[in-house]
Structure formats: structure tokens, C-alpha cells
Amino acid sequence: MAETLHYRTATELGRDLESGAVSSEEIVRALIERTRAVEDTVGAFLSCDEDDALARARESDERRARGERRGPLDGIPVGIKDILAVEGQPLTCASRMLANFVSPYDATAIRKLKATGAVPWGRLNMDEFAMGSSTENSSVKITANPWNPECIPGGSSGGSAACVAAGEAPLSLGSDTGGSIRQPAALCGVVGMKPTYGLVSRYGLVAFASSLDQIGPFARTVEDAALLLQAVAGHDDRDSTSFKTEIPDYRRELSQRRGPWKLGIPKEYFGEGVDPEVEKAVRAAIEFYRSEGCEIVDVSLPHTEYAIGVYYIIATAEASSNLARYDGVRYTHRSKEAADAIDLYFKSRAEGFGPEVKRRIILGTYVLSSGYYDAYYLKAQKARTLIRKDFLDACRKVDAILTPTTPAPAFRKGEKADDPLRMYLNDIFTSSGNLAGIPGISIPCGFSESGLPIGLQILGRPFEEAELLAIAHRFEQAHDYHTRHPDLT
């Protein structure tokens, strides 16, 4: 079985562990072997602490031998985006600014994950400080799309999506500020979910834009995503934005909630700029739900056209504030050429940050500056309120909203690197969900003629993740897109 373990789902691996067909140590060793075999092509990992993963796997096997299994993820490896703090592990955010930083503590999501017995597995590549849509902004390397290594995997959680698609991990965690889970999930042909803002604690997540950031799962199946979400969701006193709400059994709800559902189709998401192959695949998914007895209705989200502009004002403003702490004085990169304290600050930041991070800091500082705050930032916040109202109004009429996740399949490396505006438009269908604070999930719904995955996005009411997962699960059960894997031989 060892040669096939790397493409088994977390649910299947859990059954194998329970039956004694395999041990956690064997699973981890199979993933180490797989990662060594494909990393030169994929480049999903920034670092892998093989010894730590093996030690945790042995601990899981010993617990199971004593009859002390902690739950369905006990002994299952989970890849970690290098923006989440894991005690004793590098925390670099793929930036020179934090190149030598080692985390002294666990993020709440990691602490919860460890409590389930799951095995944290490696540090995954990303756009620097989560600022990007292609993982081309990493200071270390460019991750490849496993379906076509000449293409990008999406971003900013490109490593998290690529490692699951490539069979290097059955599950991974990422963060989503404007689509950074859903967009790479769509481009790499895996499941990716952004939970409702406040459902998963942000404590220990390096901040990009604090009112938008949210941690969420990548998986090969909806059921696996439900298991990982279950592990990390819940209130945390250390996060002032964490919400107190009952956490249902997400996996059990997959079979409890069977529809049919009333599903909304927003006309604003099917206009100019959508690739014909993407629209065809998403329309076919909509027709599937109609054939299952779901009521399909048109809805309108009239302020969607402002979402990208609003997002890139609010996100950059918060980034300019959050990244002020990286000053070259404490735990970050320090310039060796500085003449005095002010020079140290300027040169350290100039050397430590990459071009995209600098661009966003400059833009964010500008929109917050005297004379421009009212004209840009304040207006953006007012527009954000209207965008959220659009979604909440629509969700009173329907159970969920169906849209494309991305306007096109994955593009080639370097294709948009010199055109920030074209790059930013990759988030056109996902950023509004972050502005509204609602949950969203992307699932595979087809392939382009060139063999690249296409994603269907399902958006829903705040804290109704169970409903979204059930709707996504219905589609997945009737199709085989999630069972297909890229050829990396």
C-alpha cells in the first residue's frame, strides 16, 4: 500500500489507521518519499522537519496501541502555510524580513490541530506576507501548478494547494484575505474553504489585513475539509474578533442536510472577462443542481463592481499598519549598512520587503494619509458596508450563491508579473466574500481543454458552513473531478 498512500484521502487514511492496515509512521514516511520525489517540480515546501513529523507519528501510533485515539485526524499529516506560528518551526512568511525567525509558540489553530493528534507537516510556500495571487512573490521560490508546472498554482496559499494536489499531504491549512484559499484551490483542482470571519481564531496568524484574514482548510474532498475545519474552529479568548457560536459536527451534517436547496446565480459574476471554458463548466454545475431538484433563481449583488477597488484600499491600509512592526530593530532582518537609527529603519525595510509588499505598503500609507483618508479609506469602508448588505439581502432569499471561483484557469508563470492590475483581477470573484465576512468554498467542477482545473465557488450565510459543505458534497458525490490527479512522473 505504501506506494499509493500519498493520494489517499484523510478519511481513507483514518480508516486504514483504525483497521491496522497502516501506521501513522508509515503514512509520514510515504509522504516524505513522495515529497522528495516531486518537490523539484512542484516546490510547495519552504522547509520540512522530517524528524519532528516522524516523532509525532510514532506518538500517535503509541496512543492508538493503548486505545487512546484522539479523533479522526489522529496520526494524519497536515501541511502548514508559512504564515501560521508552529512552536520551534520557521515562521518566515516567505520573506527576507523573517528569514531567520523561529516561532516561540503555537497559533491557536495549530494548538487545536495538535490536540486532535494530527501531525503538522512542513512549512508551505506562499506569496510574501500573503500578498499575491500566484505565489510568484515568494522571496524563496516560485511554486508550480502540479497540473502544468509551467503555470502558477494561485496564491497567496499556493504551496498549501499545490502540496495537496501533488500528493505531498492529504490536508493543509492556508489563510484567505481576498481569495487566497479559494483561488489556488480552484486552480489546483482541490477543495478550499474560507470560513466566516471570526469562526477560526487568528491568534498566531501573521497579520496582513486584520479585518479580512481568515484561516481555512485545503483537502481532496469536502468530507476531509469538514474534518479539518472541525479541528480548528471555535472561540478563542486570545482573539478579540473570535465569535462565540456553536460548532456543529460538520461531517455528520453532510448526510443530514440533503436539500433540495434554493440557489442564487448573480448576474454580476457571469459578465465580461470570464473565460468561456470557466463559464461552461460552472453553468454545467448549476444545471446539475437544477436536475437534483434545487430551485435556481437570479440574484443581484449590485455593488460587486466596487469590490476589487474597495478591497485593495482596505487591505493595503491595514497592511501598512500591520507591517510597521517589521523595523529591523527586534526580530526581523537588520541592514548591515545603516549609519544611524533612522537609516537602519529605512534600509532594513528596503532590503527585507519584496516589490509587491512595498507597493501595497505605499498604497496603504497613501490612502490613510492626511487629505486622502476621507476620499479613499472612509469611502471604501462605506462601500464595504453596502457590499455586505448585498450578500446578506441575497442570502435571505436563497440558501447559497453559486459563482465561478476564478475568471480563468491558471495562467503561465510570469504572464502577469509586470501588470499588477491584471494580477489583482484574479481575485475579482473572491474578494467580495472577505469584505462581507461570509463563508465560501471552492470545489473542482471541470477541466479546461488544456487539462487545467476549474473551480465552482459556493457562498453562503455567516456561520452556515455546514450548509455550504453539504451543498458542495452533493456535487462532489455525483462527479469524479476530485479523484483525478496530475501526472508528475
Catalytic residue numbers, as ranges: 81, 156, 180
Cell numbers representing residue 472 in the block: 458542495
Is residue 453 helix, strand or coil?
strand
Query: With the C-alpha atoms ordered 38, 472, 127, 422, is the resulting torsion angle positive or negative?
Result: positive
Spatial contact of 217 and 229, defined as CB atoms under 8 Å apart: yes
- In the sheet with 191-194, reading across from the earlier edge strand, the strands are 45-47, 119-124, 77-81, 171-176, 214-219, 191-194, 440-447, 453-460, 400-404, 262-266, 295-299
With b meaning 16 or more CB within 10 Å and e meaning fewer, what string describes 287-307? ebbeeeebeeeebebebbebb
Burial degree of 442 (CB within 10 A; 0-12, 13-18, 19+): buried
Spatial contact of 469 and 225, defined as CB atoms under 8 Å apart: yes
Among candidate residues 329, 318, 320, 321, the one with its CA nearest the CA of residue 97: 329
Rounded Cα distance between 486 and 471, Å, is: 26
Residues 6+ apart with CB under 8 A from 277: 409, 446, 448, 449, 454
Angle at 454 between CA 141 and CA 437, to 5 degrees: 80
Among candidate residues 94, 87, 83, 92, the one with its CA nearest the CA of residue 52: 87
Rounded Cα distance between 48 and 122, Å, is: 4
